[in-house]
């Protein structure tokens, strides 16, 4: 049997299986002593032999089963997936700077709940009334004065209608006393005529023909034209002013449209984008804040805005507004209106200036030239302020906290302003003069100046630290509830603290309220201005209040209580004020604090409303009286009539 083994090594395959089995049986000690590796190899050889035998017998071989490779493959696959996921997460991870920028932008983002718009529709109402024909009315009546009610019923009312299609408008004014109409005036204006009526004083309707040339009418006027010229009143200038003002009121875009200006700034200026690019943002510590009524842990970000980037931002912003052509045009138009109105009163529009101290009259400037001169002065002043700002202010540091869903919860800020005191600058100047006048050498003078500057920098440097916190508590929108503070701290002096607290609550179809308190504290003294308002949607009652406080004592207040009589959101409203009360603390009148109480100074009632035009403007009724064509005798008759009626009115009062 042993002889068969060498022949197997020489290549003979006969009887190969039998010797292997015999070897396995006869040499168990050798097999066992070979260890784990040998056992493994033997098992593999046995499997190969079995497979070979099966194939030789015509039986399909069983697929080879590889032990221990499955777990390795699973681990490798999991590692690949984890690495790929980590890489994908890193690629899609939002940059901290973008997170901070989006959080700030979200505070004033469009689409947030606006209770005032949902309830009243002020913006839509303004747009509709500005672009279309409208009417308005208002009135105020005295209820009491210093607690005295004898004057109750005195007041005034006003109503106006404007037809933007025809350009016609009318206004009615009335004065009441003792609950009765005392006197009134009716004014009508269109492109062809100006008419004024004073019904309680005369039956005549004073008229001015605007369809014909005014200069010719004034020249041919037998009485009034000459008197107006002698008084320096330029009727033509006044008419030009009225026409231009009427044209502006009919324009599709209002003058000084701040909303449109802001949109042009956002889309046309790179100031904001450059500031965003310049800011540096790093992840900071986490903190918890109450946002939308829930305690939330927020991620912190440390933000730095360099002083250079801030100066560049303000410079770019200044340049944009000064170069905005629409703003320039609006200013020129406004100055033209002022010129026309001034011409109508003085007859000559000029600017006085002091040249060389002799009070010489400057050459008249056109509105365009005035605008250019104004822009030059503003540009120069702002450049000077920005230079001082750049020389004094350090970097602006912020700690910004953002919720997991990207809302700005709060931010802390701080900056340091450094400057040289005026006293030290004066001392340096005096030191320089003394060195020059003492006969010192040039080297000694320079040394003295250098020492003076060094001493000034060391002793005269003053720092002012600005710091504070702004917290957004949320609510119906991001600005509903906000707490803010600003603390100004200088070495050797008490800090000055300014606080702002805004509150807001909105329950749909139930109620809406807003509150704002601005406080100031310095050296133990406290002052505050508070504004508050509430509206009950169900019964349409409202309440408004503004108050001033000093060290916790209310020094004065103005309150308004009333009801919204009619309301069509986005179209019209009529609000009645049952009480408009002004109250003061007697401390303001010199009464000792321990004896002082609140005192009702004045109480009024009134109403105000606006809406689309329901009736066209109407000319006053009465006999037409052409003010330029009338003779002196006709004028004397009218004046006499008005004098008699006026005496009757005054006698009825007393």
In this structure, what token pair is assigned to residue 329? 């045009």
CA 82 to chain centre: 47
- Host H or E run for residue 423: helix 422-437
Cα gap 185→206, rounded to integer Å: 11
Cα gap 621→205, rounded to integer Å: 7
Cα gap 204→629, rounded to integer Å: 14
Q: What is the pLDDT of residue 243?
A: 78
- 495's CB contacts (< 8 A; 6+ apart) are 487, 488, 489, 522
Q: Is the dihedral of CA 430, 431, 432, 437 positive or negative?
A: positive
Alpha helices of 250-306 — where are they, by DSSP H?
258-268, 271-278
Cα gap 326→318, rounded to integer Å: 15
**Cβ–Cβ < 8 Å for 528, 560:** no
Half-sphere exposure (CA, 13 Å, Cβ side) for 55? 9
Q: What is the pLDDT of residue 184?
A: 93
Q: What is the pLDDT of residue 454?
A: 38
In this structure, what token pair is assigned to residue 141? 């009546």
User: Residue written as tokens 């019904």?
Assistant: 199
- Host H or E run for residue 583: strand 572-585
Regions of the chain where pLDDT drops below 70: 1-93, 346-363, 420-461, 654
**Cβ–Cβ < 8 Å for 238, 349:** no
Using alpha carbons, select from 622, 608, 611 the residue that is nearest to residue 157: 608
Q: What is the pLDDT of residue 398?
A: 97
CA 138 to chain centre: 30
- 578's CB contacts (< 8 A; 6+ apart) are 561, 562, 563, 605
Q: What is the pLDDT of residues 516-555, one digit of tens each?
A: 999 999 998 999 999 999 999 999 999 999 999 999 999 9
Cα gap 611→567, rounded to integer Å: 10
Angle between helices 271-278 and 307-323 (to 10 degrees): 170
pTM tops 0.95, yes or no: no
In this structure, what token pair is assigned to residue 109? 């983002």
Cα gap 503→477, rounded to integer Å: 11
- 601's CB contacts (< 8 A; 6+ apart) are 145, 146, 582, 583, 584
């Amino acid at each position: 049997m042993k002889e068969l083994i060498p022949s197997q090594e020489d290549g003979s395959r006969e009887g190969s299986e039998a010797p292997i089995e015999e070897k396995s049986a006869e040499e168990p000690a050798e097999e066992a002593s070979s260890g784990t590796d040998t056992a493994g190899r033997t098992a593999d050889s046995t499997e190969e032999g079995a497979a070979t035998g099966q194939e030789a017998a015509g039986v399909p071989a069983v697929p080879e089963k590889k032990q221990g490779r499955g777990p390795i493959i699973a681990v490798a696959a999991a590692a690949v997936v984890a690495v790929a996921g980590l890489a994908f997460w890193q690629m899609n991870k939002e940059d901290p700077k973008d997170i901070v920028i989006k959080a700030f932008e979200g505070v004033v983002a469009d689409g947030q709940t606006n209770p005032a718009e949902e309830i009243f529709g002020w913006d839509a109402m303004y747009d509709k009334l500005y672009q279309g024909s409208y009417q308005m009315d208002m009135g105020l009546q005295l209820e009491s004065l210093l607690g005295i009610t004898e004057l109750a019923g005195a007041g005034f009312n006003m109503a106006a209608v404007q037809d933007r299609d025809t350009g016609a408008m009318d206004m009615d004014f009335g004065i009441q006393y003792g609950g009765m109409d005392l006197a009134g005036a009716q004014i009508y204006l269109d492109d062809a005529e100006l008419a004024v009526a004073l019904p309680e004083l005369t039956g005549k309707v004073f008229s001015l023909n605007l369809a014909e040339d005014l200069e010719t009418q004034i020249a041919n006027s037998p009485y009034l034209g000459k008197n107006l010229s002698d008084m320096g009143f330029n009727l033509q200038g006044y008419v030009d002013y009225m026409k231009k003002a009427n044209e502006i009121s009919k324009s599709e875009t209002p003058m000084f449209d701040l909303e449109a200006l802001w949109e042009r700034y956002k889309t046309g200026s790179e100031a904001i984008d450059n500031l965003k690019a310049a800011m540096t943002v790093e992840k900071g510590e986490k903190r918890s804040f109450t946002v939308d009524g829930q305690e939330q842990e927020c991620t912190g970000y440390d933000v730095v805005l360099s002083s250079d980037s801030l100066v560049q931002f303000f410079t770019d912003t200044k340049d944009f507004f000064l170069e905005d052509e629409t703003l320039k045009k609006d200013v020129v138009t406004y100055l033209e209106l002022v010129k026309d109105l001034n011409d109508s009163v003085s007859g000559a529009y000029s600017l006085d200036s002091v040249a060389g101290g002799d009070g010489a009259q400057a050459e008249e400037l056109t509105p365009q030239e005035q605008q250019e001169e104004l822009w030059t002065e503003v540009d120069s002043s702002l450049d000077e302020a920005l230079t001082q700002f750049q020389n004094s202010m350090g970097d602006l540091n912020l700690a910004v906290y953002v919720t997991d869903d990207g809302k700005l919860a709060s931010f802390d800020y701080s900056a340091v302003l450094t400057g040289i005191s005026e006293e030290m600058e004066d001392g340096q100047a005096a030191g320089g003069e003394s060195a020059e006048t003492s006969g010192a050498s040039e080297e000694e003078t320079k040394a003295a100046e250098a020492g003076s500057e060094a001493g000034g920098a060391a002793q005269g440097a003053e720092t002012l630290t600005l710091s504070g916190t702004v917290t957004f508590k949320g609510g119906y929108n991001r600005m509903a509830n906000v707490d803010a503070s600003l603390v100004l701290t200088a070495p050797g002096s008490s800090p000055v603290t300014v606080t702002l607290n805004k509150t807001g609550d909105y329950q749909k179809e139930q109620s809406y309220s807003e509150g704002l308190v601005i406080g100031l504290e310095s050296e133990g003294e406290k002052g505050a201005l508070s504004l508050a308002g509430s509206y009950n949607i169900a019964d349409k009652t409202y309440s408004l209040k503004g108050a001033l406080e000093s060290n916790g004592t209310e020094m004065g207040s103005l309150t308004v209580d009333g009801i919204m009589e009619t309301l069509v959101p986005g179209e019209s409203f009529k609000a009645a004020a049952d009480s408009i009360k002004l109250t003061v603390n007697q401390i303001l009148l010199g009464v000792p604090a321990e004896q002082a109480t609140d005192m009702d100074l004045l109480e009024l009632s009134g109403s105000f409303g606006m809406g689309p035009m329901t009736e066209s403007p109407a000319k006053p009724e009465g006999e037409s009286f052409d003010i330029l064509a009338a003779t002196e005798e006709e004028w004397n008759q009218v004046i006499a009539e008005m004098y008699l009626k006026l005496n009757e009115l005054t006698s009825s009062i007393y």
